[in-house]
């Protein structure tokens, strides 16, 4: 059986969602990081669209975090992320769909609007894991990539304000939904928890993440993190990462 390969951005919450699923299910896999803004031709060639993550499993390319997790659940059923009961599974998938479709892009849009002006920091975050020459070249070309990234992700002042509102709504939803049992659906970790925690993870960047954004941070990043620091929703995200993020199943080529 061919080893799955994940094509990813290292600094991305949708990609982190799939990394977490692969690691949680202990599926050995390779990871190939691409650089935002220069990735598009390769991703279109692989999958016919331009977004990451993309998973290659054998001869099949699967795009989109929800679609990838569904594929993993069918092909690698151990440590299932789907609740057993049909009612609970339906609810978990509804929550996943809401965070995927109505939250994730807003969180990213608000965060990037705030940190992209800090060119050196953003370029370093996006290019972590690459060689020094590649990181240096990316930092030098980054100011020219910013308008492309903003256009592609519709990053505007209006979008930023809407993103802040939706991010706070998502954190409020997390806090309310998990108040009784500690989890989104029932009393066990599921795809609903993994999705909510990973897609709103940029509000707190837990230490269990498989990438580093080392301080000191620019003012733009400090202001972003301080905005959410005391929200009970970020405390829950940190708790999910501590309890369930676990060890990496990534293979070294």
Q: Do 128 and 50 share a structural domain? A: no
Top pLDDT among 75 and 36 is at 75
Instruction: Tell me which of 148 and 235 has the higher pLDDT.
Output: 235
In a domain, 252, yes or no: no
Task: Choose among 91, 239, 99: nearest CA to 166.
Answer: 99
**Three-class secondary structure of residue 49 per DSSP:** coil
In a domain, 236, yes or no: yes
Region 209-228: what's the mean pLDDT? Answer: 90
Q: Angle, to 10 degrees, between the axis of helix 65-75 and the axis of helix 86-98?
A: 150
Give pLDDT tens digits for 170-186.
999 999 999 989 999 99
Written as six digits, the tokens of 156 are 């505007």
Domain boundary at 43, 75, 107, which? 75
The mean of the pLDDT values for the chain is: 93
Cα–Cα distance for residue pair 173/134, rounded to 1 Å: 40
- Which residues touch 198 (CB under 8 Å, ≥6 apart)? 13, 14, 16, 17, 20
- Domain assignment of residue 55, given as a range: 5-75
Claim to verify: residue 53 and residue 113 sit in the same structural domain: no
Q: d(Cα 93, Cα 66) in Å, to the nearest integer?
A: 9
* Domain final residue pick, 75, 108, 136: 75
Query: In the predicted model, is pLDDT for residue 28 greater than 80?
Result: yes
103, 166 in Cβ contact below 8 A? yes
Q: Which of 166, 170, 174, 239 is nearest to 206 (CA)?
A: 239
How far is the C-alpha of 199 from the C-alpha of 106, rounded, in Å? 10
**pLDDT at residue 226 in the model:** 97
Structural domains in the chain (count): 2
Domain of 37: which CATH number? 3.40.30.10
State how far the Cα of 60 lies from the Cα of 136, in Å rounded to an integer. 34
Residues 52 and 116 grouped into a single domain: no
C-alpha triplet 99, 42, 8: angle, nearest 5°: 40
Please tell me the distance from the alpha carbon of residue 224 to that of residue 218, in angstroms, as a whole number. Answer: 10
249 domain-assigned: no
The mean per-residue pLDDT over the stretch 220-226 comes to 96
Residues sharing a CB contact under 8 Å with residue 218, sequence separation 6 or more, in sequence order: 115, 118, 121
Q: Are residues 214 and 100 located together in one domain of the fold?
A: yes
- Determine the average pLDDT of the residues in 27-43: 86
Q: Kind and range of the H or E element at 32? A: strand 30-33
**Who wins on pLDDT, 122 or 1?**
122
**pLDDT reading at 161 higher than 90:** yes
């Amino acid at each position: 059986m061919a080893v799955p390969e994940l094509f990813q951005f290292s600094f991305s919450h949708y990609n982190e969602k799939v990394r977490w699923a692969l690691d949680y299910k202990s599926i050995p896999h390779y990871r190939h990081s691409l650089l935002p803004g220069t990735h598009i031709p390769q991703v279109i060639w692989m999958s016919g669209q331009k977004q990451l993550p993309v998973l290659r499993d054998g001869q099949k390319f699967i795009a989109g975090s929800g679609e990838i997790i569904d594929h993993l659940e069918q092909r690698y059923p151990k440590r299932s992320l789907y609740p057993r009961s049909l009612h609970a599974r339906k609810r978990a998938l509804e929550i996943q769909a809401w965070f995927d479709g109505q939250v994730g892009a807003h969180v990213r849009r608000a965060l990037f609007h705030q940190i992209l002006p800090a060119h050196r920091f953003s370029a370093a975050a996006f290019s972590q894991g690459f060689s020094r020459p590649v990181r240096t070249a990316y930092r030098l070309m980054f100011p020219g990539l910013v308008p492309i990234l903003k256009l592609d992700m519709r990053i505007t002042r209006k979008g930023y304000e809407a993103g802040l509102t939706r991010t706070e709504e998502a954190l409020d939803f997390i806090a309310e939904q998990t108040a009784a049992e500690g989890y989104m659906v029932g009393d066990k970790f599921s795809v609903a928890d993994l999705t909510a925690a990973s897609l709103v993870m940029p509000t707190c960047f837990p230490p269990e993440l498989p990438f580093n954004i080392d301080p000191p941070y620019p003012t733009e990043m400090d202001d972003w993190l301080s905005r959410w620091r005391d929200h009970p929703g970020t405390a829950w995200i940190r708790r999910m990462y501590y309890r369930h993020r676990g060890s990496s199943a990534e293979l070294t080529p």
